[in-house]
A and B are shown apart, each in its own frame.
Chain A
Amino acid sequence: MDAARRPVRRTKDVRIVLRAPNPPYYASLQRPEAKQPPIRPVERGLAVLDAFLDDTQWLANQDLAARTHLPKATVSRLSQTLASLGYLTYCPRRRKYRLAVSVLSLGYAAIADTEVVLQARPGMQRLADDNGVFVALAGRDGLDMVLFANCHSASNPATVGLAVGEHMPIAASPVGWALLACLHQKERSYLMDYMRRYHPRDEWMAIRRRITDAQAQIAEKRYCLSTGDWGPDITVAAAPLTSRARPPMVLLCAGQSRTLTRARIEQKAGPQLLALAQQLQDREAEDEPAA
């Protein structure tokens, strides 16, 4: 049994150390059966917490069973355990569970309140207000990009409906392409190797063209730009934000193509985006020797 759990694919010849990509969204498309399986009770317990991630606050055991595809007996045992540990609250009147305070201990603060996010927030808000755009800071989670922080513009009621913690595939938008562009070449090809498996050949060829194109844009002007990848008339500009002390991130702004025109980006939003990225990187470089 132990032999079966050993990883089939060895990645040790990739010099850059990565964790095995395990993106939540792709995972549902193709189950990597052959890989070393995670400890099942842990996987299942966390899956129960994941079931609370959409709009419904209160869930009963049968809802949890339906969402996690686990047997009801297992689910009720897990939800009881999670409640006794403080991760869920049980309401006897509703006969349902909801997330409780201990879920913060899964690592919320480590991501949402890191130094870089705290320092970035005021600048991001200024950028958002100045240009009437949506501004966000994103990082990588497996083969997905995840938003760490976002700012909606006070001056423009129309904004992008993406919340903190939301995932999108790296392959799907300039946010991911900007990240790929700032990675070491080996890490980039490692990730792209994994990504390729989730796309039909033609589609993948198109994606690769976009990635190469974004890379060229970033080499030229340090940010990349695209319209239509997030939605029919949404323009996204994304700039990589690297530091030796933490994994790379991407700073981005997005808005309706009508207001966030190409000219507007080139003259105003783009330079401001870069200035903010530069400012954050400089400050991190300053902090580094001290820390």
Chain B
Amino acid sequence: MSRQPEAAAAGPAGVRRDAAPARRARGAGGDGSPAPSDAQAGTQTLERALQLLKVFHGNPSPLTHAELVRRTGYSKASVSRLVSTLLALGYLDRAADGVRVQIGVRGLRPGRQYLANSPLPRIARPVMQAFADRYDMSVGLAMADQLDMIYVQYCNGRTIATLRLGVGRAVPMALSAIGRAYVWAQPPEARQRLLFGIWKRSGAHGPQVVAKMERAFHDLDAHGYCVAAGEYQRDTFAISVPLSVGDPPVAMGLNCSAVGPLTDRSRIRDELAPALVKTARTLARELEDVDSTLF
């Protein structure tokens, strides 16, 4: 628990320890009463295993061990131990080539259960779908998950231009309009903490990544929305606004996006962005009295 505040900021990538603590934990724990330090090591191992699943971003394509090492920043030995555990538990699966690993089917059920229990996607859907139909764009509602934004609702327009996104997909906060809008809306200390985490995670690219975010913040300061084109996904553009919904309010991001070149600025400024802001307001109103511990 003492680690909780920095967990969000530093991210597990900042923590450099080998699989050794996990081994120690199992060695010492007779049954269930490990020494406090072992308990902490165990907690950390769990956190790393969960982080390893996160680096897939909900994407079904397989990754190599080397890629996992790169994305997590853990040691090779650590990654292969975590992978073998997650394979055995079914959260990961071997790809057809037998070498790479991909997301396994075990994670489907908890996600499904969460979505079935939460009133948020259900209430948000008609409002978002109306926008999607009217402008023939995809509309996404995302919540923060450490340094990612994770979609809890996603509605497509009539002509399905396959944006490879959907409910449960995650996008990095730093690289997406929806993430930047969310970070912008945070109180100063929280915003600083997130930026620090993002800087750290981006390694050498830190300064550029954060500079881009700050440009988006200027747009948000000036107009209340931000735009990203071709950054996280090529050939797409997205407009995002922050919003906070429920009781007590929870900060989220709302975006609309489409495949193709960026439509001209005036259409975004005069038509799409105001409509998106209005949709955000409608969502906030519809969810005003909904207990946000249920989200």
Determine the distance from Cα of A37 to Cα of B145 in the docked complex, in whole angstroms: 30
Determine the distance from Cα of A165 to Cα of B112 in the docked complex, in whole angstroms: 7
Chain A positions 25-39 with a Cβ under 8 Å from a chain B Cβ: 35-39
Closest chain-B Cβ to A176's Cβ sits at a distance in Å of 14
Does A142 make an interface contact (CB < 8 A)? yes
Partner of B58, one of A20, A107, A166, A246: A107
Q: Is the interface of A mostly helix, strand, loop or mixed?
A: mixed
Closest chain-B Cβ to A270's Cβ sits at a distance in Å of 27
A-B contact pairs, 22 of them (CB 8 A): A1-B27, A19-B92, A24-B106, A38-B84, A39-B26, A39-B45, A39-B49, A39-B82, A42-B45, A50-B110, A53-B109, A57-B117, A84-B7, A100-B114, A105-B50, A105-B170, A107-B58, A108-B108, A109-B58, A109-B59, A110-B103, A111-B60
Determine the distance from Cα of A91 to Cα of B22 in the docked complex, in whole angstroms: 30
By a CB distance below 8 angstroms, the chain B residues around A41 are 22, 25, 41-43, 45-46
Supposing A20-B88, A91-B293, A108-B108 touch, asked if A78 and B46 sit within 8 A by C-beta, the answer is yes
Contact B145 A102 (CB under 8 A): yes
Does A77 make an interface contact (CB < 8 A)? yes
Contact A104 B49 (CB under 8 A): no
Contact B113 A53 (CB under 8 A): yes
Q: Which of B7, B87, B114, B145 has the most CB of A within 10 A?
A: B114
Contact A36 B88 (CB under 8 A): yes
Contact A17 B107 (CB under 8 A): no
Partner of A112, one of B96, B152, B167: B167
Does B4 make an interface contact (CB < 8 A)? yes
By a CB distance below 8 angstroms, the chain B residues around A148 are 105, 108
Partner of B108, one of A18, A20, A81, A111: A111
Contact A17 B98 (CB under 8 A): yes
Contact A39 B108 (CB under 8 A): no
1/0 per position for B100-140, CB-CB distance to A under 8 A? 00111111111111110110000000000000000000000
Contact A52 B108 (CB under 8 A): no
Closest chain-A Cβ to B219's Cβ sits at a distance in Å of 27
Partner of B148, one of A46, A73, A105: A105
Residues on B facing A (Cβ under 8 Å): 1, 4, 7, 22-23, 25-27, 29, 31-33, 39, 41-43, 45-47, 49-50, 53-54, 56, 58-60, 81-82, 84-94, 96-98, 102-115, 117-118, 143, 145-146, 148, 150-152, 162, 166-170, 293-295
Partner of B47, one of A17, A74, A81, A165: A81
Closest chain-A Cβ to B112's Cβ sits at a distance in Å of 4
By a CB distance below 8 angstroms, the chain A residues around B169 are 109, 113
Supposing A22-B88, A53-B113, A85-B7 touch, asked if A109 and B168 sit within 8 A by C-beta, the answer is yes
Contact A113 B85 (CB under 8 A): no
Does A247 make an interface contact (CB < 8 A)? yes
Contact A105 B54 (CB under 8 A): yes
Does A174 make an interface contact (CB < 8 A)? no
Partner of A247, one of B87, B96, B98: B96
Contact B22 A39 (CB under 8 A): yes
Contact A111 B27 (CB under 8 A): no
Since A105-B168, A113-B169 are in contact, a sample of 12 more A-B pairs with Cβ atoms closer than 8 Å, ordered by chain A residue number, is: A36-B84, A39-B22, A41-B45, A78-B43, A99-B117, A105-B53, A106-B53, A106-B110, A107-B106, A109-B170, A110-B107, A142-B90
By a CB distance below 8 angstroms, the chain B residues around A113 are 58, 166-169
Determine the distance from Cα of A112 to Cα of B167 in the docked complex, in whole angstroms: 9
Closest chain-A Cβ to B63's Cβ sits at a distance in Å of 11
Determine the distance from Cα of A50 to Cα of B106 in the docked complex, in whole angstroms: 10
Supposing A41-B45, A87-B50, A98-B117 touch, asked if A105 and B150 sit within 8 A by C-beta, the answer is yes
Contact A104 B87 (CB under 8 A): no
By a CB distance below 8 angstroms, the chain B residues around A85 are 7, 47, 50, 146
State the interface size on chain A (CB cutoff 8 A). Answer: 72
Contact A101 B39 (CB under 8 A): no
Supposing A41-B22, A73-B32, A108-B167 touch, asked if A46 and B89 sit within 8 A by C-beta, the answer is yes
1/0 per position for A84-97, CB-CB distance to B under 8 A? 11110101000000
Does A172 make an interface contact (CB < 8 A)? no
Q: Which residue of A lies closest to B109 (CB)?
A: A165
Does A164 make an interface contact (CB < 8 A)? yes
Determine the distance from Cα of A142 to Cα of B152 in the docked complex, in whole angstroms: 28
By a CB distance below 8 angstroms, the chain B residues around A163 are 112
Determine the distance from Cα of A111 to Cα of B108 in the docked complex, in whole angstroms: 6
Determine the distance from Cα of A89 to Cα of B93 in the docked complex, in whole angstroms: 28
Chain A positions 9-27 with a Cβ under 8 Å from a chain B Cβ: 17-20, 22, 24
By a CB distance below 8 angstroms, the chain A residues around B45 are 39, 41-42
Supposing A71-B33, A84-B4 touch, asked if A42 and B86 sit within 8 A by C-beta, the answer is yes
Contact A112 B53 (CB under 8 A): no
Q: Which of B43, B84, B110, B169 has the most CB of A within 10 A?
A: B110
Does A189 make an interface contact (CB < 8 A)? no
Q: Which residue of A lies closest to B58 (CB)?
A: A109
Contact A104 B90 (CB under 8 A): no
Chain A positions 155-190 with a Cβ under 8 Å from a chain B Cβ: 163-166
Determine the distance from Cα of A138 to Cα of B49 in the docked complex, in whole angstroms: 26
Q: Which of A39, A40, A53, A77 has the most CB of B within 10 A?
A: A39
